[in-house]
């Protein structure tokens, strides 16, 4: 560490006095409304602990009473998720676009609604790729994706198809639930695999997720999912404010089926009255500018309507900040 020279020390003192004096002049000279605004901004800058409900549940399974271990694990994930402001905010915005569609599929497949929050925790409702090569809304690795019927090739990756990947996730979750008899264990298995969960159960002699000693990532997993559930259901309690128009809405579109190869998707897009970019945005499972001939199935593409491509009127964002 380097110490200040005498002249540097006194210069620092003078600067501090100048700044504090300026703040005092601002404070005493400001009108009451500005003073109140200043106090409000200062309060918003404070980092307060996120409130943790005494009673929580996941997929209809109640958490046990929160002892120090459970409460501190919940506190860790809720604090992290809440304070990753940009990431969490964007996840909630994108999730709002797909929520109704995903819930409809979950209900058709007999999977609890809370698995929507698993998707948020996995990908933030985006077609991201993990360091382990997991991909898409539900973060399938290639081998598991193919096992559950998703096609992956140079031209297409159906892990990025919202409908198909959601149905594949449902099949995986239902198979795990049938094996373990618990949706919390099915969620844990989604993170680390059925084999790992089964080994831990046999080693530790309990099928209660909350009592199992798991690897760190899986031990945190359910609490991360619950954090998204708490924040999405009560955003303002956790410091997120969304005005009308902030949350992304479903994109009006029609479905076009293709039962043969398409050698030029740029031309195909033009025939549909849209740009190639818009075709890719609506169908992120398309990897190349062509589509191979489907074997034993048809390709289904989402084409945005004219309504979707028109710029909406700017929403009125009045109200209290």
CA–CA dist 228, 90 (Å, integer): 12
CB atoms closer than 10 angstroms to residue 96:
17
Query: Residue 294 phi/psi, 5° resolution?
Result: -70, 140
Whether residues 215 and 262 share a domain: the answer is no
Whether residues 64 and 160 share a domain: the answer is yes
CA–CA dist 198, 32 (Å, integer): 64
According to the model, what pLDDT value does residue 208 have? 95
Whether residues 161 and 86 share a domain: the answer is yes
Helix/strand/coil (H/E/C) assignment for every residue in 124-147: CCCCCECCCCCECCCCECHHHHHH
Whether residues 269 and 121 share a domain: the answer is no
Q: Give the pair of three-digit tokens for residue 148.
A: 């559950």
Q: Is the pLDDT of residue 195 over 60?
A: yes
The tens digit of pLDDT for each residue in 216-273 reads 999 999 999 999 999 999 999 999 999 999 999 999 999 999 999 999 999 999 999 9
Whether residues 261 and 222 share a domain: the answer is no
The tens digit of pLDDT for each residue in 3-25 reads 334 455 455 545 454 444 444 44
Classify residue 192: in a domain, yes or no. Answer: yes
CA–CA dist 69, 191 (Å, integer): 21
The tens digit of pLDDT for each residue in 41-100 reads 555 557 788 899 999 999 999 999 999 999 999 999 999 999 999 999 999 999 999 999
According to the model, what pLDDT value does residue 88 have? 97
H-type helices in 235-317, by residue range?
265-271, 276-282, 306-309
Q: Give the pair of three-digit tokens for residue 16.
A: 């501090």
User: Residue 286: is it exposed, middle or buried by C-beta count within 10 angstroms (0-12/13-18/19+)?
Assistant: buried
According to the model, what pLDDT value does residue 181 have? 96
Classify residue 28: in a domain, yes or no. Answer: no
According to the model, what pLDDT value does residue 40 have? 54
Q: Give the pair of three-digit tokens for residue 51.
A: 């409130």
- CA 114, 119, 124, 125 torsion-angle sign: negative
Q: Is 135 helix (H, G, I), strand (E, B) or coil?
A: strand
Classify residue 83: in a domain, yes or no. Answer: yes
CA–CA dist 171, 111 (Å, integer): 9
According to the model, what pLDDT value does residue 296 have? 85
Cα 208 to chain center, whole Å?
Answer: 26
Q: Are 77 and 224 in contact (CB under 8 A)?
A: yes
Classify residue 269: in a domain, yes or no. Answer: yes
Claim: this prediction has a pTM higher than 0.75 = yes
**Of the residues 213, 238, 263, which one is the last residue of a structural domain?**
238
The number of residues making up the chain comes to 321
Domain containing 171 — which CATH number?
1.10.530.10
Whether residues 296 and 162 share a domain: the answer is no
Classify residue 163: in a domain, yes or no. Answer: yes
Whether residues 127 and 65 share a domain: the answer is yes
Question: In total, how many domains does the chain have?
Answer: 2
Where is 16: in which H helix or E strand? helix 6-29
**In the predicted model, what is the mean pLDDT of residues 184-198?**
96
- DSSP state letter for 257: E
Whether residues 102 and 229 share a domain: the answer is yes
DSSP-assigned beta bridge partners for residue 303: 254
Where is 227: in which H helix or E strand? helix 216-233
- DSSP state letter for 127: -
Cα 12 to chain center, whole Å?
Answer: 46
CA–CA dist 317, 321 (Å, integer): 10
Classify residue 280: in a domain, yes or no. Answer: yes
According to the model, what pLDDT value does residue 319 have? 45
Whether residues 173 and 230 share a domain: the answer is yes
Count Cα atoms within 13 angstroms, Cβ side, for 137. 28
- DSSP state letter for 205: T
**In the predicted model, what is the mean pLDDT of residues 146-162?**
96
**Of the residues 177, 206, 238, which one is the last residue of a structural domain?**
238
DSSP-assigned beta bridge partners for residue 200: none
The tens digit of pLDDT for each residue in 96-142 reads 999 999 999 999 999 999 999 999 999 999 999 999 899 999 999 99
CB atoms closer than 10 angstroms to residue 141:
15
CA distances to 51, 127, 155, 263, 295 from 289, rounded to whole Å, are: 49, 18, 8, 8, 19
What range does the domain containing 79 cover?
A: 57-238
According to the model, what pLDDT value does residue 312 have? 74
């Amino acid at each position: 560490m380097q110490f200040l020279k005498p002249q540097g020390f006194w210069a620092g003192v003078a600067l501090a006095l100048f700044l504090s004096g300026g703040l005092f002049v601002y404070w005493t000279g400001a009108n009451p409304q500005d003073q109140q605004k200043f106090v409000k901004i200062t309060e918003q800058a404070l980092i307060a602990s996120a409130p943790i409900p005494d009673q929580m549940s996941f997929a209809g399974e109640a958490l046990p009473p929160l002892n120090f271990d459970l409460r501190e694990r919940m506190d860790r994930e809720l604090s992290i998720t809440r304070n990753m402001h940009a990431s969490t905010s964007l996840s909630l915005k994108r999730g709002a676009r797909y929520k109704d569609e995903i819930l409809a599929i979950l209900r058709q497949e007999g999977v609890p609604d809370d698995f929507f929050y698993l998707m948020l925790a996995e990908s933030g409702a985006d077609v991201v790729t993990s360091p382990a090569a997991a991909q898409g809304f539900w973060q399938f690795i290639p081998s598991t994706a193919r096992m559950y019927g998703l096609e992956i090739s140079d031209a297409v990756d159906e892990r990025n198809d919202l409908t198909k990947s959601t149905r594949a996730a449902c099949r995986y979750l239902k198979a795990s639930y049938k094996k373990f008899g618990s949706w919390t264990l099915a969620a844990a298995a989604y993170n680390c695999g059925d084999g790992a969960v089964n080994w831990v159960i046999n080693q530790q002699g309990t099928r209660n997720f909350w009592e199992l000693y798991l690897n760190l990532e899986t031990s945190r997993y359910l609490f991360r999912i619950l954090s998204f559930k708490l924040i999405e259901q009560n955003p303002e309690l956790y410091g997120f404010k969304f005005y009308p128009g902030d949350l992304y809405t479903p994109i009006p579109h029609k479905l076009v089926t293709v039962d043969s190869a398409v050698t030029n998707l740029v031309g195909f897009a033009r025939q549909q009255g849209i740009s190639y970019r818009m075709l890719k945005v609506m169908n992120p499972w398309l990897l190349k500018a062509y589509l191979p001939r489907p074997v034993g199935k048809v390709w289904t593409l989402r084409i945005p309507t004219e309504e979707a491509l028109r710029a909406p009127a700017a929403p009125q964002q009045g109200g209290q900040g």
